[in-house]
Amino acid sequence: MKYRSAILIIIAILVIDQAVKIYVKTHFLPGMAGQVDVLGSWFKLHFLENEGMAFGMRLSQSYWGKLLLSLFRLVAVTAGFFFLRRIVNRGYSRGLIICGALILAGAMGNLIDSIFYGKIFSESVYHPARFVPWGEGYADLFHGKVVDMLYFPMIHGTWPSWIPGLGGKEFEFFEPVFNIADAAISIGVLTLVFFQKRLLHRDPQHQQQAPVHQAVES
C-alpha cells in the first residue's frame, strides 16, 4: 500500500469529521435541549463539548493542563506521520497501514478542534455557535473544546443488587458521547489489539524486492 493512499484515507476521515462537527456546532444547542433522535431511542445526536481527550475524558481543566494536552497531541500527530511513512516504506501489511491512518486521522481531527475552534467560533451556551473573525472566539489558540455528538444509549437497566457498590444503581450502554475522530481511533486501536498477529508483518513481495533494489543501487 502506498503512502499516498494512506494520506487519502486520513483526508477523507478529516473532511467527514470536521463537516459533521461544524454542522452540529452551528445548528445544535448543547446538552439535552439540542438532542435529536436519529434511529429511534438508541441512536441520537447529542451535542457536547469537552476540554480534553476521547469520549469526554479530561486531563485537566486548568489553562496549562489544556495547553499541555493540545501540545502533546501536536507532537503525537507529527510523530505519527513519520511512523506511518516508515511502516509503508518497510512494506508492512495493508491492514497495519490502514489502522495507522485511522488512528492518525482521529488524533488530527480532535487536534483541529483544540487548536482552532476557540479562535473561530463563538461560545455555545444558549444558542448554536457561529463563525467569528479570527481572534474573537471563545478561547485562546490551543484551548478550543472538542465537539462530540454521537450517542448510543441502546440499553437501560439496573445493576443486580448482589454487585458490591453498584447494586440497585441504574446503568446505560453505551453512555459516552463521542465523535467520528474518536471512532476512527477506537477502530484502529481495537483492530490492532485483536488482529495484531495478522497485521504486524511485512509484505513478502516487498521483502523479495528489497534485495533486488539494493543490488541495483550498489
Give residue-wise pLDDT tens across range 85-121: 999 999 889 999 999 999 999 999 999 999 999 999 9
> Is 148 known to be catalytic?
yes
- Grid cell locating 23: 454542522
Q: What is the pTM of this model?
A: 0.82
User: What pLDDT shows up at residue 60?
Assistant: 53
Measured distance CA(212)–CA(218) in Å, rounded = 10
Per-residue model confidence (pLDDT) at position 188: 95
50/58 Cα distance (integer angstroms): 8
Q: Is 17 a catalytic residue?
A: no
Read off the pLDDT of each residue in 193-216 and give the average, rounded to a whole number: 64
Catalytic-labelled residue, pool 113, 140, 148, 203: 148
Residue with cell 475524558: 57
Choosing from 17, 37, 113, 182, the catalytic residue is 182
3-state secondary structure the chain: CCHHHHHHHHHHHHHHHHHHHHHHHHHCCCHHHHCEEEECCCEEEEEEEECCCHHHCCCCCCHHHHHHHHHHHHHHHHHHHHHHHHHHHCCECHHHHHHHHHHHHHHHHHHHHHHHHHHHECCCCCCCCCECCCCCCCCCCCCCCEEEEEECCCEEEECCCCCCCCCCCEEEECCCEECHHHHHHHHHHHHHHHCHHHHCCECHHHHHHHHHHHHHHC
